[in-house]
Amino acid sequence: MIMDKLQLSVRIALNAWEANVKRANAVFGKFTNEELMLEVAPGKNRVIYILGHLIAVHDMLLPLLGLGERLYLQLDEAFISNPDKMIKELSSPGDLRTYWININDILLNRFNSLSPDEWFQKHTMISEEDFAKEPHRNRLSVLISRTAHLAYHLGQVALVKK
Amino acid sequence: MIMDKLQLSVRIALNAWEANVKRANAVFGKFTNEELMLEVAPGKNRVIYILGHLIAVHDMLLPLLGLGERLYLQLDEAFISNPDKMIKELSSPGDLRTYWININDILLNRFNSLSPDEWFQKHTMISEEDFAKEPHRNRLSVLISRTAHLAYHLGQVALVKK
């Protein structure tokens, strides 16, 4: 298939997203359930918090990109609204691993179903008026920004001493 | 100025790059020269190593993207070829801060001088033959990948306890 430049620009952003998700799968896969309770640095977030946080942030992409309803709203209290260790009862590591794989599978499917033009449509948190003035605030910019967010936290998880 | 989608795709990637560079400027700016010697986590890289590493990696973008000769080759031994603390004599914090601002200024100028079409040209580390088969290996993909690289290390620097 010959891609035009617009398709390529979307493909490149999707490749970067996929590469970071795969990297994350490999990283989290190397932690036992017990090791998920380790802090990335003394007094800092535990790996399980970062995992839950990433699931919740990725889950938020469904409504933000107009791709569906959220699946894991129940994670927000422990992993978005509060810092680590505030909420004592967390989802089990096994459940979180399942959610992580599931949300990324669903996102990738929905992402791949969007046409290049649809990536240049506005995301749902900006009004039509503002989007007319700031057309870069589209789905593609959200994807690139969330890829950097994922990389940011992967850098932290890489520091854990097991 | 009305941007077409191709211009927008480049602008979005450049915005993400710029946002992370600005964030890095703010983060590094909050460290004193002494605090640059702190490790991001016990036994891990020092902040000064990450700063030097990022300068060298960004400097490498000049030849990689066909935008010029390298400026700070002398950093490679301490910040690329060797892990932290192997090389005892490092550039001074003041020099590194200057290099950091300078390389990012130069890159941004060169980036902004490229037309959208030029972002879809191959980078210099891939042959014409391979690029014909893998047209996504262009300048734009390098930019997005280096943005994630920067975010990865910023996540680590955020953990430093001063």
Q: Write out chain A residues lying below 8 Å of B38, CB-based.
A: none
Q: For A131-149, what is each residue's pLDDT tens digit?
A: 999 999 999 999 999 999 9
- Give yes or no for B56 touching A (CB within 8 A): no
Q: What is the mean pLDDT of residues B76-83?
A: 98
Q: The whole model's pTM is what? A: 0.97
Measured from the Cβ of residue B22, the count of other Cβ atoms closer than 10 Å reads 11
B124 compared with A3, residue with greater pLDDT: B124
Instruction: List b or e across B27-52, with b for residues whose CB sees 16 or more CB atoms inside 10 angstroms.
Output: bbeebeeeebebbbbeebbbbbbbbb
3-state helix, strand, coil in chain B (%, to 5): 65, 0, 35
CB contact under 8 A, A8 and B136: yes
pLDDT value, residue B1: 59
- Give yes or no for A132 touching B (CB within 8 A): no
In this model, does residue B97 exceed pLDDT 80?
yes
Q: Which two tokens stand for residue A135?
A: 């057309």
- Give yes or no for B8 touching A (CB within 8 A): yes
CB contact under 8 A, A156 and B154: no
The alpha carbon torsion through B41, B44, B48, B49 (nearest 10 deg) reads -150
Query: How many Cβ pairs within 8 Å bridge chains A and B?
Result: 118
Q: For residue A109, which amino acid is it? A: N
Q: For A23-42, what is each residue's pLDDT tens digit?
A: 999 999 999 999 999 999 99
- Give yes or no for A83 touching B (CB within 8 A): no
Q: Write out chain A residues lying below 8 Å of B8, CB-based.
A: 120, 135-136, 138, 140
- Give yes or no for B50 touching A (CB within 8 A): no
List the single best residue of A144, A161, A162 to mutate versus B (max B Cβ within 10 A). A144
The pLDDT confidence band at residue A162, using thresholds 50, 70 and 90, is: confident
The full 3-state SS of B136-155, as one line of letters, equals CCEHHHHHHHHHHHHHHHHH
pLDDT value, residue B3: 81
Q: What is the mean pLDDT of residues B73-78?
A: 98
B44 — phi, psi (to 5°)?
A: -100, -175
Contacts of A123 (CB under 8 A, 6+ apart): A64, A65, A66, A137, A138, A139, A141, A142
Q: For B32-48, what is each residue's pLDDT tens digit?
A: 999 999 999 999 999 99
